[in-house]
A and B are shown apart, each in its own frame.
Chain A
Amino acid sequence: MTGRAVSGSQGFDAASGQRAARPTGIGAYLIKLSRVAVGLLVVVACYLSGEWFADILSIPVPGSVLGMVLLFLVLCVQPVRLSDRFVVPVAERLVALIPFLLVPAAVGVVAHLVVIARDAGALLTAIVGGWAVTLVVTAHAAKLLLRRANKKF
């Protein structure tokens, strides 16, 4: 469901593994816990800032998406070592939770069965047609633009 499957090769896990003396037992656990806490704090701060921005700008954009853009900027601005060690592991754990968190939201469709039954044809056409056009147009645009970008290098 998430990007976890393709990530993991990079990052600083390898670097931290090379350190000579690693704390063990309860010490290691506390260090890990504080890292998770710091990472989570950064994500929550971005979420709240995003909600706040959406509110004061009164734009029809979810605060969570603004928060995501903000978190990406924060990750890029702070030293890479900090991002990779504190925020990225926690954030990826959260991303992996998305399918599970979506279940109560998806269960809510029972309240909309009338709409689904009435508009089944329109919805199905929109899903398949919209998907096919997106796939083909994106692939063509990427082919055209990426080749041109790679020629320059």
Chain B
Amino acid sequence: MWDTFAQSPAFGILVTVTVFALAVLFSRVLGNPAWANPILWASAGVVALLLLARIDYEQYMVGGQYFLPLLGLAVVALAAPPFRHRRLLRKSSVAIVVAVGIGSVAGVATTMLLAWAFGGSEQAILAAAPKQATSPVAFAIANLSGGSGELAAVLAVLTGIVGATVGPGLLRLLRFTDPGDRGLAMGVSAHAIGTARIAREEPVAGAFAVVGMVLAAIYVTVLVPIALHSLRLAL
């Protein structure tokens, strides 16, 4: 009975749903701080469960694999949030597009150079390169460039947590008070997790963050293959 269940797709799906629900509950009870991110703790929970119960990763993925095509569909759906804030884009679209572009170029370049300079392996560089993009996009980019999408998604989540925790304070320290500057900086540097954080206290900045996050995801998608190609040529 147990064996049939553990071999079926229902096992992976049920484990994911249960552990994710617990992680969301855990985050809510604590008041949704960035470090209590449900993705991080739910994945850690599933990993711990698999290790403790001595269940193979492959066995979990019999059910887990069904989530991945839906993730691609969800990336497409990311067009909706900036569409809601299209008025913002209409007013100062060129300035926003250029500012996000400058930030994305700086981000991808620094990330890759640091990973390389501190002795990271090729796998590490490939996974770190897209981490500035929102996790599902980072996952897709890294998979496509021959790196580990799984690692890229986790690195993106960690970036988001750092950005959401430290970002607003650092911006205040550097005397950025305009909601446009604050929102774009948070959305571009810490994607969805940073956006959720700043939107809670500053709704106007939150709208800018949404637009910045999705634009940055597009920039990173284009920049990573170019940057990887030039890094390979240079080495």
Contacts and interface: CB of A to CB of B under 8 A. Distances in A.
Contacts of B185: 134-136, 138-139, 142
A128 B222 CA distance: 22
B46 A131 contact: no
Say what secondary structure dominates the interface of chain B.
helix
Interface in B57-114: 57, 60-61, 64-65, 67-68, 70-86, 91-92, 94-96, 98-100, 102-104, 106-108, 110-112, 114
A61 interface: yes
Contacts of A126: 111-112, 114-115, 118, 120, 124, 128, 131
B212 to A, nearest CB: 7
Interface string A4-23: 11110011000000000000
Determine which residue in A46, A91, A99, A138 has the highest number of CB atoms from chain B within 10 A of its CB, and name it: A138
A146 B210 CA distance: 16
A48 B40 CA distance: 30
A72 B98 contact: no
Interface size class of A (residues with CB under 8 A): 35 or more
Nearest to A87: B80
A145 B95 contact: yes
A44 interface: yes
Nearest to B151: A112
Nearest to A147: B178
A135 B72 contact: no
B47 interface: yes
B178 A61 contact: no
A117 to B, nearest CB: 11
Nearest to A62: B140
A102 interface: yes
Nearest to B162: A131
A64 B71 CA distance: 9
A110 B57 contact: yes
A31 interface: no
Contacts of A50: 76
A127 B182 CA distance: 20
Contact of B99 (A62, A123, A141): A141
Determine which residue in B98, B115, B123, B212 has the highest number of CB atoms from chain A within 10 A of its CB, and name it: B115
Given A101-B136, A105-B139, A105-B153, 20 more contacts: A3-B206, A62-B137, A69-B218, A75-B79, A88-B84, A91-B78, A99-B39, A104-B60, A105-B67, A106-B154, A107-B47, A110-B47, A111-B148, A115-B124, A122-B114, A126-B111, A127-B128, A130-B132, A130-B159, A139-B184
21 contacts: A2-B196, A3-B210, A4-B81, A61-B222, A62-B75, A64-B71, A91-B76, A102-B139, A102-B153, A103-B16, A103-B67, A106-B40, A107-B150, A115-B123, A126-B131, A127-B155, A134-B103, A134-B106, A139-B171, A142-B103, A142-B181
